[in-house]
Structure 1
Amino acid sequence: MTGSQDRKADLPLSSTIWSGMLGRCPSCHKGKMFNGYLTLAPSCNVCGQNFDFADSGDGPAIFVMLVTGFIIVGAALYVEVVYQPPYWVHAIVWGTVALVLPLLLLRSFKGVLIALQFQHKAEEGKLDSDR
């Protein structure tokens, strides 16, 4: 871990979450965390923070599925009870939402998980052989 990671890891949780949502470097909150839509940059273009520590795995996808499912099921139930539209309207509306919403949320969730890894200095699990 770099020195800048050790120095700035004590920032408030809200600041860390916002920088992750915006795709900003978790260390300086100014540089870019991503090269493309979901491709992680090798390092920050402002402070030089190396992003080798970052491994979000399937975490963002799981959270996006849970949040998207909660929103769609709740909204579809509400619309059905209040308006009672035909089933084809449900299929078009909620099918479209089910495709668009995860695409909108995935980058933010990935950024937040990586920023939280940085703040909490999370590392890959290791066995303690000294015991």
Structure 2
Amino acid sequence: MIPPEPTAWPRLSTLSTGLRCRCPRCGEGPLLKGYLTIREACPACGLDYSFADPADGPAFFAMSAIGVLGMMAFMAFEFTVRPPIWVHFAFTFPLIAGACLLVLRPFKGWLVSEQFVHKAAPPEWESIGGHGDGSKWK
């Protein structure tokens, strides 16, 4: 019996699949369950998502991007309108926090898509056995 040939998947845009939080291989199945939890596998094509570990990358990129843009808007608003401080506490700071939460999912999807395309894996260290051989500190 001849085993079936593996399906050839076209390379999809990491930006498109990531921003839509879709499977990086087929582009159809959802990547996340809930708000930020990565599924175990794609329900459409069966891709195992065990390779995906974006760690704190999405939070870093979201806070950096929104922080820069938010502070520019904050300063422009402050210098032109000169509102009382309570306006910033009531509106500006919640808007910046909400924007960070809004872009967190797309950043996570994008980073997982990049990991899939670039075949990112945890580092594997290999010892050639030379370091420390013959040392008196055993």
**Which TM-score bucket, shorter chain as reference?**
0.7 to 0.9
Q: Distance in 2 between the 1:74 and 1:16 partners?
A: 29
2:136 corresponding residue in structure 1: none
The answer to whether structure 1 residue 11 and structure 2 residue 11 are counterparts is yes
Q: Distance in 2 between the 1:99 and 1:77 partners?
A: 16
Range that drifts further, 79-88 or 56-65? 79-88
Among 83, 102, 105, the alignment partner of 1:104 is: 102
Among 29, 34, 41, the alignment partner of 2:39 is: 41
| Superposition map of 1:111-122 within 5 A | 111-122=109-120
Show structure 1 runs of 4+ deviating over 4 A: none
| Structure (1 or 2) with the greater helix fraction | 1
Larger relative contact order (Cα-Cα within 8 Å, sequence gap ≥ 6): 1
Unaligned 5+ residue runs, structure 1? none
1:68 corresponding residue in structure 2: 66
Q: Distance in 2 between the 1:93 and 1:29 partners?
A: 37
Percent of residue pairs identical: 37
Among 68, 88, 91, the alignment partner of 1:90 is: 88
Shift of 1:16: 1.2
Shift of 1:130: 4.9
Count of matched residue pairs: 124
Give a deviation string over 1:28-61, Cα, whole Å, max 9, x none.
0111101111111110111100000000011111
Unaligned 5+ residue runs, structure 2? 1-5, 130-138
1:53 corresponding residue in structure 2: 51
1:126 corresponding residue in structure 2: 124
AA matched with 1:47: C
SS in 1 for 2:44: coil
Give me the CA root mean square deviation.
1.8
TM-score by length of 1: 0.86
For the pair shown, which has the larger CA radius of gyration, 1 or 2?
A: 2
